[in-house]
A and B are shown apart, each in its own frame.
Chain A
């Protein structure tokens, strides 16, 4: 099955710093989502981005589907950005492939 790898596995930032999180996937996808899991465990949707670039405030994401990777940019980080960031993909293909395959996540800690 499709493999999803995220890097770095963990990251410590000072408040105000910028960062880039990466997601590599091993096969063609027709859905890619970025999530932020806050310290209370809630998964918050950040981007639905199977291809192209999107921006939402201090966050932006780019997916290059042909090269099988996606990047999540966090600018001017805040302590509330702390948590785990997951990339999840839905493999292209028919049949029972509607599940999301999750990466192992990037644990981000933003220090004041």
Chain B
């Protein structure tokens, strides 16, 4: 596709449920990133994938958060036992290589009731 795509665009869930968010990076981009944006704030890094290297998970806020990436394509971010503080917009970005310009998808707005 022409840009980074994410699904769903919106997700409303109940506290304690698990959610999966999907990201399709720009074709050919080897690096993929997940960020979180709380209301009225800047973006905070969650996790980074580069090719077949071990992911950088240093930004994941708790062990309820995990992410996978299949090769150099789709990634899923999973949040288990969601809490109200997980409510935020989750944004995915990709870049050709790790040191190149990052391009962002439209985000998934997660609301935990």
Contacts and interface: CB of A to CB of B under 8 A. Distances in A.
B41 interface: yes
A3 to B, nearest CB: 12
A10 B58 CA distance: 31
Interface residues of A, number: 21
Interface residues on chain B, size class: 20 to 34
Nearest to B107: A41
A86 B104 CA distance: 13
Tell me the dominant secondary structure on chain A's binding face: strand
Interface in B78-113: 89, 91, 93, 98-99, 101-104, 106-107, 109
18 contacts: A30-B99, A33-B101, A33-B102, A41-B89, A42-B106, A45-B101, A45-B104, A98-B56, A98-B99, A99-B33, A99-B45, A99-B48, A99-B59, A100-B35, A100-B93, A102-B42, A104-B41, A104-B42
